[in-house]
Amino acid sequence: MIAFAALIAVLYYGRDLIVTLIISALVALILNPAVVLVMKLRIPRAAATAIVIGIASILVYLLAAMAWSELSTIGEDLPTYSSRLSEIWTRANNDLDQFEQNTISSLLPKNLLQQEQQIQQKPQEAAKARRKRNAVPTPPPPPVIQEVRIHTDPKPVLTTLYRYVSGYFHVLVMASFVPFLVYFMLSWGEHMSETFSRLFPGQDRYMVGKSWAGVGESTRAYVLGNFLLWVLLSSLSTMTFFLLGVPYWPLVGPLSAFFSLVPYVGLPLSVLPPVLAALAVPNKFKIVITVALITAALHIVSMNFLYAKIIGRRVRLNPLVVTIAIMFWGLLWGGVGLVLAIPITAAIKAVCDNVESLEPYGRLLGDD
């Protein structure tokens, strides 16, 4: 129990370092096939890694620039969009009130309804007459004198900016290490795996190598599978939203596809961005329903058929274990823990499957 509590404390207080290492390893697993492909052109591994990371950085920059332009457009259209949502909300409330009144009038007899309206009107008329009798002319309010205060000691802009950024400073620092960690993991990965296996003697070395390969295979299957599935869903969603005339389709499509990969709550999360964007189109409520139905259909097909074929065969985890893992890592690391819960659990299962003394735990985590 003491060792378990110490492990939880290390995972919690060292989450910035551990999460940075895990994210770097996942990115390295995504880029490793591209590095191997470039190496077939007789380019050294270090140079191939630099080329792949450079191309990936350019792609990330282009996606970020596209997302930023869409966010700027959303910021400009926000007043119109807010008024549109307020109009829809008011209309829905009016329709609901009208439906309630029609229901009550259809259920109650006309005599009782008229009597109820008269009873409600009599106190209101008596109150109005009482207010007229007791009305006293009120004197005009005194003029308001506004005090003009001169701030002689304004806060510096740098101090305000520092207070805002300081809360995210450690995250930015750790994120700056990701490209370097990815480069060294890709260029020195084989050397690290060989030297790490030599730390164990005899038969344990074979077991460690097998466990290392199992972790890499299961994690690579999960990460690459989700990445390919996200690319496919993003392409289909973006093309569909463009044809339907959904605003901000370059941003809404990839965002909806990303939310669709979230376990258990992926369906409502994936439907939410395109529906909110489609509400900005005036007098086109059919588009909202069509977008919701198409997004839900894409999620169901991808999660029930494509996910099982691409990922499910290699990452075989018990649904109960997956749920507990998502709860545990989400509580420990927040939103990042929700994303990393399944690959971490799959890696633990791969180690248990290849270590003889831990095989019962591997069967407990699996779905066999």
- The whole-number pLDDT of residue 320 equals 84
Residue 13: domain span: 1-93+177-183
Cα separation, 125 vs 174, in Å, equals 70
**Per-residue pLDDT at 166:** 60
Pairwise pLDDT comparison (303 vs 360), residue with the higher score:
360
Structural domain includes residue 162: no
Task: Determine the pLDDT at residue 51.
Answer: 92
Q: Is the pLDDT of residue 190 over 70?
A: yes
Q: pLDDT value at position 308?
A: 67
Query: 320-350: per-residue pLDDT in tens?
Result: 888 888 889 888 888 788 888 888 888 888 8
152-186 per-position pLDDT tens digit: 444 555 566 556 556 567 777 888 888 889 899 88
Q: What is the mean pLDDT of residues 109-136?
A: 57
Query: Locate tokens 């008596």: which residue?
Result: 126
Contact 183, 50 (CB under 8 A): yes
200, 206, 221, 272 from 355: Cα distances, Å = 13, 10, 20, 44
Number of domains in the chain: 1
Rounded mean pLDDT of the chain?
78
321 located within any domain: no
Whether residue 286 is contained in a domain is answered as no
pLDDT at residue 277 is higher than 50: yes
Q: Which of 240, 261, 264 is nearest to 322 (CA)?
A: 264
Residue 351 or residue 304, greater confidence: 351
Least confident window among 9-13, 138-142, 183-187, 323-327: 138-142
Which tokens hold the place of 316? 């075989």
Whole-number pLDDT of residue 364: 87
Task: Give the lowest-confidence range in 18-22, 65-69, 272-276, 313-317.
Answer: 313-317
Is 292 within 8 Å of 246 (Cβ atoms)?
Answer: no
Is residue 66 assigned to a domain? Answer: yes
Least confident stretch, 13-17, 123-127, 288-292: 123-127
d(CA 232, CA 246): 19
Span 23-47, mean pLDDT? 87
Q: How large is the average pLDDT for residues 137-144?
A: 57
Length of the chain counted residue by residue: 368
Most confident range (mean pLDDT) of 134-143, 228-237, 316-325 is: 228-237
pLDDT at 291: 87
Q: What is the mean pLDDT of residues 265-273?
A: 84
- 22 occurs within a structural domain: yes
What is the C-alpha to C-alpha distance for residues 257 and 251, in angstroms, rounded to an integer? Answer: 10
Write down the pLDDT at residue 1: 87
Distance CA 368, CA 363 (A): 7
Q: What percent of the chain has pLDDT over 70?
A: 76
Average pLDDT over residues 20-45: 87
Separation between Cα atoms, residue 64 and residue 66, nearest integer Å = 5
| Domain presence at residue 30 | yes
Phi, psi (5° rounding) for residue 139? -70, 155
pLDDT at 280 > cutoff 60 = yes
pLDDT of 297 over the 80 cut: yes
Query: Residue 312 pLDDT more than 80?
Result: no
Give 175's contacts (C-beta < 8 A, 6+ positions apart). 20
Determine, yes or no, domain membership for 221.
no
Query: Is 25 within the bounds of a domain?
Result: yes
Other beta carbons within 10 Å of 67: 14
Smallest CA-to-CA distance from 182 within 25, 328, 68, 342 is with 25
The pLDDT of residue 142 is 60
pLDDT (0 to 100) of residue 6? 92
